[in-house]
Amino acid sequence: MTPRAANTPSPLADGGATAPSTDPEIQRMANTARRALAATTGGMEALLAMQGLSLPAATDPNRLHAEHAVEHYKLGLRAEDALVKLLGVGGTQSTADIQAATDTPAARRAQMRNPDWLGTGNARRAGGIGHREEHRATLPAQALEFALANMNRAPGAAETNAAMKPAYVALRNGFTESGQGSDFHLMAKRLHKFNTYIDLACKTSVAGPTALDKLKDPVGTIRRKVGKDKTPLKTLMQAGPLGSNLGTVPGEHAKRLTQALADSQTQLRGDLTAKYGALSQQDHARGVMRLAAMQLWAEQVPAAFNPKIDLTQGTRISPEAVMARAQALNQTLAGEAGQPPRALHDATMADEARTHLGKPLMVSTLDGWFGGGKLADSSVTINTPQMTALNDDVKILRGKAQLDSKLDDLQTRFDAASKDDRKDILRQVMISVVAGGDMADYSDGRKNGIGGMFGYLAAQVDGIGGVSTGITPVGEFNVDHTRTAVLRAGVASNTGVIYLGNETKVTEMLGVGVRAGAALGPVGVTGQVMGRLGGSHLFSEGLMIRTNKQGKEHESLPLPPAPGQPQAQPGTPPAMTSNNWKRMSETVVNSVFELASQPPAQRPKNGGEMWKEMVARVGDYRDISFGWNAGQNHQINGSISADGMLGGSVGLGSASVTGNIGLKHTFLNRGKARDTSGATKAVQASSGSRTALGMGATAGISHPTIKNHDHPDVGLFTRHKVGIETDMVLQAKNGFVRITTEDGKVKPNISYKHREFATQDAFFKLVNSQPEWAARLGERGPDGTLRGGDEMLQGFLQQTANLPAGNNRLFIERKCLTQDAADAINACMEQLAVIERPLAPGTAPDPDAAAQIRSLQKQIAAHVSDEGSWQPFRLFVNETNQRVKEQSSTGGEIRATPNKVDDKEAGPTGMAERFLGGGKVTIGGKINSAHGGRDLITIDALPVRA
């Protein structure tokens, strides 16, 4: 398009309407065509070209204003399109006709043009009119008013009709209607729920309500029991970022090693200078040699990850280079001390070279030099804040200390703080998650369930000495229903994410098996073999806030105060802490907590008011997208297990120990999720499988049973137990495809194909089987091509193998869409959008439309499944951390055991002597879980050419 001159009138005057015909039908078709073209990015570009409209050059000072004018034009047409569908507009369907439809009858106009109704659903209205449902066309009607009022606004002029801006921002985020139960209404309600979750999280200490809290608030206690007043933010405060705020192993090692070496050099150099003439020859030479070694060591620590340099395996330094550097340093130190140079003790220098420089320098070497607080003088131990910090870094590098202890301090402060101060501490913890390096999930749920086990003694054999054995076929079942409030936040593969929603999960299990037991007096031994088949079905929905990784708007945000500068004035939003695109996620968090910290009378009363307040704070940022996400996941699992139990009488009850081993396999694990609204949207499909060998052991005591000679013995709340269990993964692989769109257009650089493995060998086999990885790694040669890719790849794999021992690791390959594949998918999507548009009244349907839709959908699926559509993006290893707390204090358990056989020669003769059974009911069981991760090591593919 040809750029227009900066001083010419807006090319979008009159909305670009250029229909010269006076025929009403032609005008209607022209208006319909304009709206149809504006529905897609490509169509809008074609519409502008056809109408002779263009944007100024990128360097023009009015370029941004013109882009917003185009956006107003495009969204105005989309608002019109929504109103035509919702109101059945007649006439030529011009802008005037559409506005007239919103004005008739008068009651409709009073509602649709009233910004106080937006996002309120069927809430109670002011003025004594009671509950009145919001019209579904309220959002597009108000958005159209704002677009028309601002489309031709002069550069630099203030926005007009600002009361309608919340509706416009909602439309920009993909919401086309409002009203009770609409996606926009659900999104706004969930956004408002943030305030409730923050209040509930800050109401009690980190550990949750104490016994005294429950006595003070019996109503709240009952509400929690029945599944109300859940808050995932309490779980967030309890678990923290779970490592998602930490860098990779090489990155953390390099950062802390660089800091430790710098602090060591500063301390040692100052000590050597201050004691230059007072130290013994041996201490002086030793100190100078170590200072020289540390200087050379620091020079070899890479500024960025280098697959060829594995710091965890140590750093080799030439003894000759250290001795030469020591001689030069000795001269420099003498000058700094103002004394003549001292001779270095040759024997001490040789001993240092032989002892420390004949092998790689490790963190343990640095710990040996300074771990006790000793510097140049080997007989003196000093304690300063600098040495304490140095020792902390060394301990962390050696794996002898927790990597991040800040959470403990925040939790202590949280418990001692007032409710208002607690909100700020919670905000800090949440920011550490959204500005981290990975995703973390936090949930607070309630579970209700029922389960049972039953058996019938089929055969019994009497033995010598009163020993008897029995064989009992058994069956069992279990059904659980869990409803959970979920917070998911952090950095996903494609965008920054803040998700607040709920999940409903139903699990079921059936099992059959055989139990064999032998009894000798009061001692019983039981063995059991069981086969189980079960499944789970999870459904989720919630508010999805995404922030753009490639965005630039964060550069305009206020910077945090410089060291020594005063903080912002009270009442202003807290300053950001990140220096990149993550500041947009921080902006959202700070805005939410600012609203939650207001006095109750000033807070938003409903979702509509909450949305308006958020628009006032972040509505101008196109890099922040608000949407609604819905998903589901289905699993089918099977297992075969063997259990053994040894038990005996203890007083009135009994005690027992059990052990089990079993093979577990996931036959089906499929999920899908979709953002139904949002400026940035993602659709995802996943599948996986897993095979593991599980082992466990428990010990417990049981209450005495109630005797009834005509029926089996019965026990209530029978067994209390403790135990451990673990899984040894034999194979596990999962994968998903995530396609990300912005304004309906696929973005190839943030659309991914993701494959993960639980075993290192399977990951190495996959990577080594794909030569394209080595072709996309290496260093640039003079001609701009990559060289040494295979060496880089093998270095990465070797460092992966050298990672410190750990659990719960996933080895992941990620590829992104090629530009050609994205263009092909976009073309298909543009065609689908045209074919799937509702037909105008009186228009005959195309008999081939259904076949065309199926064909285009198959083409899109073929592009996605084609391996050639994907290119290398990243290889990495992720370590997951999780914390699960399950508590059930309301429920019941019953157990029925066979009576003892009175006549051993006759054996068991009736139901009372043959039946074995039990059941358990859970009501309001509490489940808190936190799941996070940390990338331990990563390597990114590079473009083929610079």
CA distances from 875 to 302, 449, 777 (A): 20, 41, 11
Q: How far apart are CA 355 and CA 72, in angstroms?
A: 73
Range in 457-466, 759-768, 828-837, 873-882 the model is least confident about: 457-466
- Is the pLDDT at 563 greater than 70? The verdict is no
Tell me what the mean pLDDT of segment 561-579 comes to. 51
**Residue 550, SS3?**
coil
Q: How far apart are CA 56 and CA 72, in angstroms?
A: 16
Taking only the tens place, the pLDDT of each residue in 413-470 is 999 999 889 999 999 999 999 988 889 999 999 998 999 888 888 777 665 445 567 7
Q: How confident is the model at residue 214 (pLDDT cuts 50, 70, 90)?
A: confident
Taking only the tens place, the pLDDT of each residue in 738-779 is 999 998 899 999 999 999 999 999 999 999 999 999 999 998
Q: How far apart are CA 260 and CA 393, in angstroms?
A: 6
The pLDDT mean for the chain works out to: 85
Q: How far apart are CA 484 and CA 473, in angstroms?
A: 37
Residues 6+ apart with CB under 8 A from 843: none
Burial 105-121 (b: 16+ CB within 10 A, else e): eeebeebbbebebbbbb
Give the other-Cβ count within 10 Å of 866's Cβ. Answer: 12
Q: Supply φ then ψ for residue 186, to 5 degrees.
A: -65, -40
State the pLDDT at residue 212.
79
Strands (E), 457-575: 459-462, 468-491, 495-520, 523-548
Burial 3-31 (b: 16+ CB within 10 A, else e): ebeeeeebbbeebbeebeeeeeeebbbbb
State the pLDDT at residue 884.
85
Shortest CA distance to 465 belongs to which of 523, 527, 521, 517?
A: 521
Q: How confident is the model at residue 13 (pLDDT cuts 50, 70, 90)?
A: very low
**Residue 815, SS3?**
strand
Range in 85-94, 392-401, 667-676, 913-922 the model is least confident about: 392-401
State the pLDDT at residue 441.
95
State the pLDDT at residue 232.
96
Q: How far apart are CA 625 and CA 172, in angstroms?
A: 9
- Is the pLDDT at 1 greater than 50? The verdict is no
- Structure tokens that stand for 567 in this block: 């903080």
- Is the pLDDT at 794 greater than 90? The verdict is yes
Contact present, 503 and 538 (Cβ < 8 Å): yes
Taking only the tens place, the pLDDT of each residue in 291-303 is 999 999 999 999 8
Q: How far apart are CA 351 and CA 358, in angstroms?
A: 10
Tell me what the mean pLDDT of segment 834-862 comes to. 86
DSSP 504-523: EEEEEEEEEEEEEEEEETTE
Contact present, 147 and 73 (Cβ < 8 Å): yes
Proportion of the chain above pLDDT 90, given as a percent: 50
Higher pLDDT, 490 or 925: 490
**Residue 597, SS3?**
coil
- Is the pLDDT at 643 greater than 60? The verdict is yes
Tell me what the mean pLDDT of segment 718-741 comes to. 81
Task: Give me the helix-helix angle, 789-801 and 760-768, nearest 10°.
Answer: 180
Scanning 151-280, the segments in alpha helix (DSSP H) are 165-172, 183-203, 211-216, 218-225, 232-239, 249-274
Q: How far apart are CA 169 and CA 619, in angstroms?
A: 6
Q: How far apart are CA 770 and CA 472, in angstroms?
A: 54
Tell me what the mean pLDDT of segment 80-108 comes to. 88
Q: Supply φ then ψ for residue 162, to 5 degrees.
A: -65, -25
Q: How confident is the model at residue 288 (pLDDT cuts 50, 70, 90)?
A: very high
Q: DSSP label at 323?
A: H
- Structure tokens that stand for 239 in this block: 């678990």
Q: Supply φ then ψ for residue 664, to 5 degrees.
A: -115, 140
- Is the pLDDT at 900 greater than 60? The verdict is no
Tell me what the mean pLDDT of segment 311-326 comes to. 92
Residue length of the chain = 946
Taking only the tens place, the pLDDT of each residue in 62-74 is 999 999 999 999 9
Amino acid at 850: A
- Determine the longest span between alpha carbons in the chain, in angstroms: 111
Contact present, 608 and 187 (Cβ < 8 Å): no
**Residue 645, SS3?**
strand
Dihedral, CA of residue 259, residue 264, residue 266 and residue 269, to nearest 10: -150
Place of tokens 């940390």: 934
Half-sphere exposure of 151 (CA within 13 A, CB side): 21
State the pLDDT at residue 565.
47
- Structure tokens that stand for 780 in this block: 């640039």
Contact present, 558 and 576 (Cβ < 8 Å): yes
- Structure tokens that stand for 83 in this block: 């109103």
pTM for the model stands at 0.86
Q: Supply φ then ψ for residue 167, to 5 degrees.
A: -65, -40
Place of tokens 């508590």: 887
Contact present, 749 and 815 (Cβ < 8 Å): no
Scanning 729-770, the segments in alpha helix (DSSP H) are 760-768
Q: How far apart are CA 806 and CA 517, in angstroms?
A: 40
Tell me what the mean pLDDT of segment 809-814 comes to. 94
Higher pLDDT, 248 or 686: 686
Contact present, 944 and 896 (Cβ < 8 Å): no
- Is the pLDDT at 570 greater than 50? The verdict is no
Q: How confident is the model at residue 471 (pLDDT cuts 50, 70, 90)?
A: confident
Q: How confident is the model at residue 52 (pLDDT cuts 50, 70, 90)?
A: confident
